Amino acid sequence: MDSLECETLVFECERRYGVDIVAGFSDSTTLGDLFRKVRKSG
């Protein structure tokens, strides 16, 4: 994955779901962690 794809994911999560997925992000964060964060917001 290149950085533009990551930027697009961050932008879309903020735009569609109002979630800042960057907050609390670390090297060990999984896609499942991101999914749970977005689901919690809704």
Per-residue pLDDT tens, the chain, 42 aa: give them: 577 898 998 999 999 999 999 998 899 999 999 899 888 886
Per-residue model confidence (pLDDT) at position 24 = 85
Instruction: Give residues with Cβ within 8 angstroms of 38, minimum separation 6.
Output: 13, 17, 19, 21
Q: Which range marks the domain in which residue 22 is found?
A: 3-41
Query: Tell me, what DSSP letter sits at residue 27?
Result: T
Number of domains within the chain: 1
35: closest CA among 23, 22, 15, 21? 21
**Residue-level pLDDT at 11:** 94
- What integer pLDDT is reported at residue 40 of this predicted model? 86
Q: What is the dihedral of CA 12, 17, 19, 20, to 10 degrees?
A: 10
Give pLDDT, residue 1. Answer: 56
Tokens for 35?
């999914």
Amino acid at 31: L
